[in-house]
Amino acid sequence: MQFVQNNLSIFALMVVSGLMLLWPMINRRVSGIKEVGTLEATQLINHHDALILDVREDREWSGGHVPNSRHIPLGQLAGRIKELEKFKDKPIIAICRSGARSGHGCGMLRKNGFEQVYNLSGGMMAWERANMPVERK
């Protein structure tokens, strides 16, 4: 206890940095966004006709993307959400490079009434690590 009292600022910094590391996980659970791995995503695509929504930038998209995915960069998603209205009854799997931006995209979709929203855990990096098909244009 004496150590904590003598090093209060260091202890506070440790607590704050720990919370910052945990916040994305806590936020996803509170917001109702489900994470899926590549196997679960493939099952949703094959059995439930899920839409893959790629929220990466144009340059990232052209470097390789999931076949048959729809590309709407995260910065444009709010203005283009109406393009996805016809998919409201289907599962939507959002994907980015690592899973962070797509988590934000999932949040936007949920706020606009999309119920079956999933974030691909690990993003395109996980997709490629699992040797899943990648289309390059």
Report whether pLDDT(31) > 70.
no
Read off the tokens for 94.
Answer: 């959002």
Angstrom distance (rounded) from CA 90 to CA 66: 18
Confidence at residue 29, expressed as pLDDT on a 0 to 100 scale:
61
What predicted TM-score, i.e. pTM, was given to this entire model? Answer: 0.79
Determine the angle formed by the axes of helices 8-31 and 100-111, rounding to 10 degrees: 50
Residues paired with residue 135 on neighbouring β-strands, in sequence order: 65
Round to whole Å and give the CA distance between 116 and 92. Answer: 6
Instruction: Decide: residue 133, CB within 10 A, 0-12 exposed, 13-18 middle, 19+ buried.
Output: exposed
Give me the active site residues, please: 96
Q: Confidence band (pLDDT; 50, 70, 90) for 32?
A: low
pLDDT higher than threshold 60 for residue 42: yes
25 has a pLDDT exceeding 80? no
Question: CA quadruple 60, 80, 67, 50: dihedral positive or negative?
Answer: positive
Residue 24: which residues within 8 A CB-CB, separation 6 or more?
100, 103
